[in-house]
Structure 1
Amino acid sequence: MTTGQLIFIFLAVASSRLCMVFSLRPLSGDHHCNREKLPSQKALRTDQFTVLINGYSESRIPILHTVTGIYSSSPSVAAVVVLWGNPKTPIKTLVQLAHNLSISSPGDAPISVIRQPSSSLNTRFLPRPWISTRAVLICDDDIEIGPKSNEFAFNIWRNNPEQLVGLFARSHEIDLTSRTWIYTVHPDRYSILLTKFMLMKTEYLYRYSCEGGESMANARLIVDAMRNCEDILMNFVAANKTGVGPVLFGAKRVRDWGDARNEGGRELTAAEEVAVGLSSRKKDHRKRRGDCIREFHRVLGKMALRYSYGKMVDSVGEQGLCEKGGKLVLCDQQFFK
């Protein structure tokens, strides 16, 4: 058994916070697309969702304690799983992380840490036989959202179960000068939701990873080559199935610890980029994501992305908060991922 095949789980027993169960078992990386090893859609529960947090940098472990605790406290969350994508992180560190997250969690939903079978961003969307819910939340390790907003998002998804539901929206567009697709942001429309927070049907994990034949295999290779754009490709997958765009919602409070607009934010060096996360954020980031849209269109044979308009809100207010002068204030809306 290799270190890349280990799964670490600490489960808190509801009757006692002092009684812990620790298990270590293989992660069957070779059978993700075997339908016989996956639960049927009818068997998946609809009253809760599973949280899949992308983890990579040990420097963000303190934030993980806060983020996982909030999700674990939500009554609609069945389980919280940190998918660790850094192959260089020692086993001892992950075991300790799983232990600490479990014993410090204020909620009832179990928290686990899994080392991914590879560092590919595509592994965020692998089907998992242990997912017991019809909905999954794909999110980053530096996004902190309040429990009430989690419940609000889940209620929106239950009314729109075929669509992606999220907090951070972007758009595709044709550049008339170069006659090519570009990645941008519009004040009145959007067609792409980011995996900073993306709630969706569990079935889409299988569609992304296992269906689509050679064209989807080539699209996933583009994600690996760019070390980016897995979120854009998932938007292609969902829009191709539904024929409509995603659903954007507003939250009362969202803390984006990775936002460069935070006071003291600066351009990361190449080494720091690798240390903090998998997704490439070079200066040509926007152009590269436009290149992804163009290449996905080419290999998939159609432009599946569809525009949506408006935002679902439970009250008036912006969702972006940044630290300035020691206080949390609304971020400048001009800068985007």
Structure 2
Amino acid sequence: MTTGKLVCILFAVASSHFLIVTSLRLLSGDHYCDRTHLPSTESLRSDQFTVLINGYSESRIRILQTVTGVYASSPSVAAVVVLWGNPNTPSETLVELSHNLSISSPGDAPISVIRQPSSSLNARFLPRPWISTRAVLICDDDIEVDSKSIQFAFNIWKSRSNNPEQLVGLFARSHELDLTSRSWIYTVHPDRYSILLTKFMFMKTEYLYHYSCAGGESMAEARSIVDEMRNCEDILMNFVAANKTGVGPVLVGAKSVRDWGDARNDGGRRRQRRELTVAGEVSVGLSSRKKGHRKNRGDCIKEFHRVLGKMPLRYSYGKMVDSIGEQGLCEKNGKLVFCDQQLSN
């Protein structure tokens, strides 16, 4: 090998490493709320969406490789970005993660890892100058959704009139006024919902700016409540969206979802794909949580109502389903099976 070729190879390797490290840099110096640094709404493309995955635990890195691969394989995905919020994770670990996700991706959409400027949960909603799409999918690092259901949810988001404003997602909860205590509570209803979780939620990219930069002192105080509680950023985003739309969110059904973070998982041996329903997954999911969790979430609703001066949350009913792909689960001989198998021998 000649000296010239060796120099070129070393330069290429160094450049590649530099690009990866640069993508992991701290972004604290960026002016997130400066409109001049953000693309205009008119320039954002509507035929694709950007996936923003909230990452924190190094124990879920293996799951991330699967989850990001599913998103990157979709022709409707412009980019997949893991927003890493754990300040204690070594940069070397994130460099390796970024490299592995990129080289192992089965799709064409680029995958990158960006270290968040802080561990605040509010950081997942910072407006980003590199987002080129009108919609973003906010999701967690432990939720695996089949590709057809991802596309179905995106199609529903696009179909919400000529200017889609409503949140669209898979996991629903509700607020309610407790008449005994005369205070807001966080709960679930079998027939209505008013809150979508950021486990999997489509929304307008513009809402990132409204959450992080608009609303003056009231929203600043609401964001400080999120930091104090270390919770409820999803509820606050629902407040933001409902305040803009005056209507509730849209729940969609999925053919299959694997929630790797669900407390009902048994060491990986009994992780099962299950159907999402308002009366099914939601009620079981809440019952698996400690009561303190629900109380804290109710306190967030109460505090957001107080500091913002209004209750914008509105109820929605039912859910949008893919009539061909979706099946319910029914009981047969003491086991849960797809309902269309119930009558088979």
**Normalised TM-score (structure 1):** 0.82
Q: Percent identity?
A: 81
CA deviation vs aligned residue, 1:25-54 (integer Å, no higher than 9, x gap): 355434000000000000011110000000
Aligned residue for 1:210? 213
Aligned residue for 2:124? 124
Q: 1:165 aligns with which of 161, 164, 168?
A: 168
CA contact (8 A) 1:121 1:224 kept: yes
TM-superposed CA distance for 1:263, in Å, is 2.8
Structure 1 residues 115 and 66: alpha-carbon distance in aligned structure 2, compared to 1, 3 A threshold: same
Pair 1:37 & 2:40 matched: no
SS in 2 for 1:304: coil
TM-superposed CA distance for 1:147, in Å, is 0.8
State the alpha-carbon separation in 2 of the partners of residues 328 and 45 from structure 1.
42
SS in 1 for 2:70: helix
Q: 2:300 aligns with which of 287, 292, 296?
A: 292
TM-superposed CA distance for 1:21, in Å, is 8.4
Alignment of 1:1-337 (within 5 A): 23=19, 24-25=21-22, 26=25, 28-29=27-28, 30-160=30-160, 161-264=164-267, 284-315=292-323, 316-318=326-328
SS in 2 for 1:216: helix
State the alpha-carbon separation in 2 of the partners of residues 203 and 153 from structure 1.
19
Q: How many residues align?
A: 289
TM-superposed CA distance for 1:262, in Å, is 1.9
The structure that is strand-richer by fraction is: 1
State the alpha-carbon separation in 1 of the partners of residues 26 and 134 from structure 2.
21
TM-superposed CA distance for 1:159, in Å, is 1.2
State the alpha-carbon separation in 2 of the partners of residues 189 and 306 from structure 1.
10
Structure 1 residues 66 and 318: alpha-carbon distance in aligned structure 2, compared to 1, 3 A threshold: farther
**Normalised TM-score (structure 2):** 0.81
Q: Which runs of 4+ in 1 moved over 6 A?
A: 327-330
State the alpha-carbon separation in 2 of the partners of residues 328 and 194 from structure 1.
26
TM-superposed CA distance for 1:221, in Å, is 0.2
Structure 2, gaps ≥5 residues long: 1-15, 269-288, 330-334, 339-345
Structure 1 residues 127 and 250: alpha-carbon distance in aligned structure 2, compared to 1, 3 A threshold: same
Structure 1 residues 158 and 22: alpha-carbon distance in aligned structure 2, compared to 1, 3 A threshold: farther
The structure that is helix-richer by fraction is: 2
Q: CA RMSD in A?
A: 1.9
SS in 2 for 1:284: helix
Which amino acid in structure 2 is aligned with residue 138 of structure 1?
Answer: I
TM-superposed CA distance for 1:318, in Å, is 4.7
Structure 1 residues 120 and 293: alpha-carbon distance in aligned structure 2, compared to 1, 3 A threshold: same
State the alpha-carbon separation in 1 of the partners of residues 336 and 234 from structure 2.
28
State the alpha-carbon separation in 2 of the partners of residues 317 and 295 from structure 1.
39
